[in-house]
Amino acid sequence: MSYQKYGIPPQFVERVKLKLKNPAVKDKIRLLLGNVTKYDLQDRPKVKKLVKSASSILKEPLTDTQEDQIVAFVLAQKIDPNNTFHLLKLWGMFR
């Protein structure tokens, strides 16, 4: 998995996926990310803020190192939330 190259453990990803199955948590994350643009996802401070907010919603405390690893991963993906191919690629990565 490409997220593992950034030091993000599969156990962490599995915990987050499980928490996102809760409709209330999923809705809060959806609200957080609803208006995010590809430019936001290439702006380190904005991504860091989103990661902190998502961590809080998911009740997944992160160390500074873990935060930096997740931010680096998101920046490297060059995600465009309006590009279906990008979203399918991410979906495949985390299935």
pLDDT tens for 56-76 read 999 999 999 999 999 999 999
Q: What is the largest CA-CA distance in the chain?
A: 32
Contact 54, 32 (CB under 8 A): yes
Which value, to the nearest 10 degrees, does the dihedral of the CA atoms of residues 39, 15, 52, 90 take? 0
Contact 20, 59 (CB under 8 A): no
Question: What pTM did the predictor assign?
Answer: 0.88
What are the structure tokens assigned to 38, written together? 């590809």
1: pLDDT strictly greater than 70:
no
Q: Is residue 81 very low, low, confident or very high in pLDDT (cuts 50, 70, 90)?
A: confident
